[in-house]
Amino acid sequence: MLSILGKNLANYALWLLSKRDMTEFEIAKKLNLKASKADNFSDEEKSIAQKEVVFYLKEARLIDDEKFSRLFLKSKMAISPIGKFAAISKLAHKGIPKNIAEKAWEELSFDEQDTIERACADFIRKKGGINSDKQKQRLVRYLASRGFKAGAIYEKISRF
């Protein structure tokens, strides 16, 4: 049974999750901020209430880092292709452990050649053709900033 603070935090967490999916880390961070503003409770009560709410949300399957990782990667790759390194880095900023992020990447089995090809097509569409060394250098930087491996980048650039 949740305390008064726990119920308030649970309602807040449900409201946050109605806006968008969040990771356990993101929810915990938001709950910590909200609980810190509750003056009538001790630090221990706040901590216990936060842990109870996170546990409740995980049990109800409202937060699931593995599911979040897969959905995040699918949507990110649909919008603009990124490499494995960038994907794992973006998930790490959201509090997803590296092993879960790598597992999600492997489960979705993105083809690196197809992904880098799409990234090159996006670059060419935005910047024009690759007809000079300067444009090739820009493409290299663009692909590197998208988290592709150096070997894959130079293999792709050699074709231009």
Average confidence (pLDDT) over 57-72: 95
CA distance 36 to 34: 5
Radius of gyration of the chain measured on its C-alpha atoms? 21
pLDDT in tens, 6-15: 789 999 999 9
- Check residue 87 and give its pLDDT: 92
Which one has a higher pLDDT value, 131 or 31?
31
The CA–CA distances, whole Å, from 55 to 79, 109, 127 equal 33, 31, 48
Residue 4, pLDDT above cutoff 70: yes
Q: Find out whether 157 and 123 touch, Cβ atoms under 8 Å.
A: no
At 4, which helix (H) or strand (E)? helix 4-19
Stretch 123-142: mean pLDDT: 86
At residue 50, the pLDDT reads: 92
| Nearest Cα residue to 56 out of 32, 27, 85, 80 | 27
User: Mean pLDDT, to the nearest integer, of 82-111?
Assistant: 92
pLDDT of residue 15: 96
Using CA atoms, how far apart are residues 38 and 89, in angstroms rounded to an integer? 33
Q: How much of the chain, in percent, has pLDDT values that exceed 90? A: 54
Q: From the centroid of its chain, how far is CA 79?
A: 14
Asked whether the predicted pLDDT for residue 57 surpasses 90, the reply is yes
In the prediction, which pLDDT does 66 show?
A: 95
Distance CA 74, CA 69 (A): 9
The answer to whether the beta carbons of residues 117 and 51 sit under 8 Å apart is no
Q: Which of 2, 1, 26 is nearest to 13 (CA)?
A: 26
Q: What are the φ/ψ torsions at residue 112 (nearest 5 degrees)? A: -65, -40
Percent of the chain with pLDDT over 70: 98
For 18-56, how does the pLDDT look when each residue is reduced to its tens digit (9 = 90+)?
Answer: 999 999 999 999 999 999 888 888 888 889 999 999 999
